[in-house]
Amino acid sequence: MYYVTKRLEISAAHSLSLDYPSKCTSMHGHNWIVTVYCRAEELNKNGMVTDFTDIKRIVSERLDHQCLNDTLPFNPTAENIARWICDNVENCYRVDVQESEGNTASYER
């Protein structure tokens, strides 16, 4: 099995739709740390699991310096963002989304 990991930092704003009072329902921003994990039993024709540039394009071009409420079709919690990234990156099996020091959500397929 082959593995690659890509770590990116993006800046993005969001507000959460919650069924309880929280300051997170107000628009606010984070410098998110996103770690994408990919694996494959066989390398592609270019000798890669997944091209690091493709991971960066999918994550950064879609999410960096965006209002995530306008960009994503769901409540942009760290958990939902992790799953969206995992679903959109080839050979991805896990994503960690850190929205602040000590607060990380993970999704694993």
| Residues known to be catalytic | 24, 65, 99
* CA angle centred on 43, ends 104 and 32, rounded to 5°: 20
**Residue 6 neighbours by CB distance under 10 Å:** 20
User: Strand (E) positions, the chain?
Assistant: 2-14, 28-40, 66-67, 92-100, 103-108
